[in-house]
A and B are shown apart, each in its own frame.
Chain A
Amino acid sequence: NAGVTQTPKFRILKIGQSMTLQCTQDMNHNYMYWYRQDPGMGLKLIYYSVGAGITDKGEVPNGYNVSRSTTEDFPLRLELAAPSQTSVYFCASSYPRDRVGEQYFGPGTRLTVT
């Protein structure tokens, strides 16, 4: 199993550009999450999904969109990139049993908006 994979690893965007961060998991996990991590800050939840076709906002969703057409894939879309979106983005998945479960994280995408 590859686990959770993310592409690209690094990206530089100009202000106003758009891009999609890809996330794929091969563990057949129902639940998937997108976080951003800024220096000295904890991980902040952007969006999450509890299954194909179901998505919901997390703590910091503004400026982002997601879709979940398959169990495996959970892409994060940035429209009109802003410098405030410079961060490291992590995708995670989990398979809770009895509402309890650890999350498996991808290696992250480091995004710079200039």
Chain B
Amino acid sequence: SQKIEQNSEALNIQEGKTATLTCNYTNYSPAYLQWYRQDPGRGPVFLLLIRENEKEKRKERLKVTFDTTLKQSLFHITASQPADSATYLCALAYGGATNKLIFGTGTLLAVQP
């Protein structure tokens, strides 16, 4: 069965530094991968999507890479701010036309001022 792993431990970094979150998967070859942000007591919010034929995607201070050989995606937040503190979820697409996603357990990021 498909398995997705994200850093289970919280990631603590200083304001202004770059945060790097990891998503590893096994037994699967997704057509694309998505990253979501989830704040406490709220639903996930979509951030970025990267397709299997794309190596890198950027949006403002966010950058995602996708290595289908390593079966890994990295999510970077540059010049991090305390407002970036949240849980970040990795999700892989499966099921073709149904657009179904399988989610990782998420990584809690805490940015210290």
Contacts and interface: CB of A to CB of B under 8 A. Distances in A.
Contact of B99 (A4, A40, A44, A96): A96
A103 B101 contact: yes
Interface string B34-64: 1000000111111001010000000000000
Contacts of B89: 42-43
B105 A41 contact: yes
Interface string A75-114: 0000000000000001010101001111111111000000
Given A58-B100, A103-B44, 19 more contacts: A31-B99, A35-B103, A42-B4, A42-B102, A48-B98, A92-B43, A96-B97, A99-B96, A100-B31, A100-B32, A100-B49, A102-B34, A102-B46, A103-B99, A103-B101, A104-B46, A105-B44, A108-B41, A108-B43
A45 interface: yes
A88 to B, nearest CB: 9
A99 B99 contact: yes
A33 B100 CA distance: 8
A50 interface: yes
Contacts of A103: 34, 44, 46, 99, 101
B105 A40 contact: yes
B51 A106 contact: no
A42 B106 contact: yes
A59 to B, nearest CB: 8
Nearest to A59: B102
B97 A99 contact: yes
A93 B7 CA distance: 27
Contact of B93 (A4, A56, A100): A100
Contacts of B99: 31, 94, 96, 99-101, 103
